[in-house]
Each structure stands twice: as structure tokens, then as C-alpha cells.
Amino acid sequence: MTKHDRDLIIVGAGPAGISLAAEAHRSGVPADKILVLEKGQEHSWAIRKFYPDSKPVTANYKGQAAVCSGVLCIGDTDKDGLLSYLDQAIVDHQIEVRYNTTVGTIHPLPEGGFKVDTDHGQITTNVCAIAIGILGRPNKPEYKMPGKLKARIHFDINSDPIQASRVLVVGGGDSASEYAQFLVQEGNTVSLSYRRDTFARMNDINQDSLYALERAGKVTLLRSSNITELKVTDDGLPIVCFEEAAFGEREYDHVLYALGGTTPQNFLATIGIAFDGPSPMLGEGYETNVPGLFLVGDLSAGTKGGSVISAFNSSREAMTRICADHLNCTVEAPFGTSSTPMAFPEVKLGLGQAKS
């Protein structure tokens, strides 16, 4: 094997990236040969940015069995509990995370391995894994976003505090419900626009919470509503124009979009990763068509997304392949039984849950 700076470089310090580093350490890869590169100033940037503080993190996600196959595992917890757990995992597994580091390109080398170009220089590695999330690239609507509304249009819940305002949340998934619950707690008058008449994409907890808030008169649900345009008032506030005459044009103080995220296809394609439509083509252990290059976490979960546990498990599968084909290591049994999640703090209930 060609000698490189590192044995394993992981791009992205979220649950998948941290768990893959933990798997590598547990499998016998020296700590100083593992490096995690993170563009943010802290790990789990997307969770900190897009998850409301009261968001429950459930082990059972959209019907997926809460069974852990690797080193890291969680039970039901909340945002703070998850972040604390990942903090401890970094310490326990001696994981080196290089923060505030942006990866530009990843070049396969003729002799094997990769050269990773960052804004702080180049690093070579035998194996590379990309563990970036899709929420870092939030979907945006097709209609024009007027520049004058920049301070009034939002794509996450935490960057700009919103309080005592009229807010329209746009979306029909779990994030949309969680944003609505959080905004109610912050004293806002909340409406939610969704293009369909039912919320089939939400888990049962978030759906029940949203309906409870509607019954309590704290959230107005605009079912089967389609936005066609945004206008600007003389005072710089958004006017939302709906296709349906029943909704017409409505003025708000803020509009918050919860439309999911997209795979960073251009970035992956420049490395040479092949796609089948919008999805990257993956083999055993989530290895791409580029030997030694893996995708874990959101990028391996498909269009429906996945849970934190599925991110942990994808790292386990990837590490099994890495040890078998690329590095001199052995994947050992996890610390606990795979079907017994670790104990975590009690989940904090959102407002809708507490009142239902």
C-alpha cells in the first residue's frame, strides 16, 4: 500500500462522519492516521443549524427498526442529548477533527489513494469517505425570491431569531412541523402552507403535534395551497401570492422554507462518482464506482433520508468494506448488543405534544 499522510480522511463531522471515525479507531486504525474535515466551527453543523432546540431525536425513524449494528448507538433523546453524545464519542475515540476547513476537490491518485485539496492545503489518504448532509444545501422554490426580502426569507430555524411575528412555514415534512411547533413556543402567529391535503411525509408524533396546535388555534394549516409568487410591501414585508383563490394574497413578517435538501451532485460528479438519475451509484459498503471512495450518512440513505442510527449503521457497513479491501484492520463486535440502544435523557416534548 502506498504511504500517504493518512489512512482515512472523512469529509463531514456529523453523526455519519464521527461514527465512521469511531469505527475506524475501534477497528485498529491508529488515531493519528484518521482525520475528519469539517467546514463549520463545530461538529454536526446541520443539526445545530436546522434542528429546533426542542426537537426530539427518536431512535425509530419513519418505521425503521431502532437496531444498531456498530460502535455508536442512541435511544430516544433530544438535540442537546445527541450533541453531547457525539462530543463524548470524539473524546472516547481520540478523533481528530479539523474545523473551519473547506474541501475543494478530491483527486484519485494513479498509484492509489487520494489527494484532498482544502483551503488550508493538500492532504493525501489511502481511503476517503464523504459524510456531508443534504440539509447544507436546502431546496429552494422555483419562483423568484426578491432581493428586498433577504432578511425576511429563511431556510433554517436558528440563524435569525424570529419572535412575536406573523410567520408562514412552507413544507409538509417533519422539519415543517417542528419549525411550526418551535415558532409557536417563541410567541409567533404561525401558518403552514403545504401543496397536498394530508401530511403523509411526517412521522406520527409531528403530525399529531401539528394537528393539536391547529385545534388549539395556534397554527393555521393552509392545505392544498400552492405559492406562485412573492411580492414586497412598501414596508419591505413579504406578500405571498397563492394560486388558489381561497387563499389569495397574504402578508407576513417572515417566510420560512422547510423543503428538504439536495444531493451535492456537482461536487460528487467532479470526483468521478457515477449517478443513476439524481442518486449516486453505490456498491457494497456504500463504496462508489471510484475504488476507495465511500459515501455514508445522508448520501447513502436515498431520497427518503434516514435516522441518526441509520447514519451510524452506514458507517459500520462502510468500515467493514474498508477493512476487507483497503486497510489492514479488523472490524470487531460493537461494545453492546446490537438490539439494545444505550440509555439517553428523556425526550423534551414540543408544545403540540404537551397539549395533545
DSSP-derived pairing of the beta strands 238-242 and 227-232: antiparallel
Are residues 51 and 161 both part of a single domain? no
> 13: which residues sit within 8 A by CB, 6+ positions away?
36, 37, 38, 40, 43, 44, 45, 97, 99, 131
pLDDT recorded at residue 305? 55
Give alpha helix (H) positions in the chain.
15-26, 45-50, 79-92, 174-185, 204-215, 265-271, 298-301, 308-325, 351-355
Residue 355 falls within a domain, yes or no?
no
- Please state, in angstroms and rounded to a whole number, the distance separating the CA atoms of residues 210 and 202: 10
Are residues 220 and 269 both part of a single domain? no
Are residues 103 and 198 both part of a single domain? no
pLDDT recorded at residue 355? 29
Last residue of a domain, one of 260, 276, 311: 260
Residue type, 162: I
Are residues 60 and 98 both part of a single domain? yes
Give the domain CATH number at 312: 3.50.50.60
pLDDT recorded at residue 152? 96
pLDDT recorded at residue 263? 60
Kindly tell me the sign of the dihedral angle through the C-alpha atoms of 133, 137, 141, 145: positive
Are residues 82 and 131 both part of a single domain? yes
Q: Where are the beta strands (DSSP E) in 157-287?
A: 166-170, 189-193, 219-222, 227-232, 238-242, 249-251, 254-257, 275-276, 279-280
Are residues 154 and 239 both part of a single domain? yes
Residues in the chain, pLDDT under 70: 1-2, 54-56, 58-66, 134-137, 261-263, 266, 302-306, 334-356
Are residues 86 and 164 both part of a single domain? no
Which residue range(s) make up the domain with 152? 147-260
> For residues 177 and 210, is the Cβ–Cβ distance under 8 A?
yes
Compute the half-sphere exposure of residue 300: CA atoms within 13 Å on the CB side of its CA. 29
48 burial level (CB within 10 Å; 0-12, 13-18, 19+): middle
Are residues 270 and 246 both part of a single domain? no
Are residues 249 and 336 both part of a single domain? no
Total domains in the fold of the chain: 2
Are residues 232 and 330 both part of a single domain? no
Are residues 161 and 120 both part of a single domain? no
Residue 141 falls within a domain, yes or no?
no
Q: Is the pTM of this model over 0.85?
A: no
pLDDT recorded at residue 58? 66
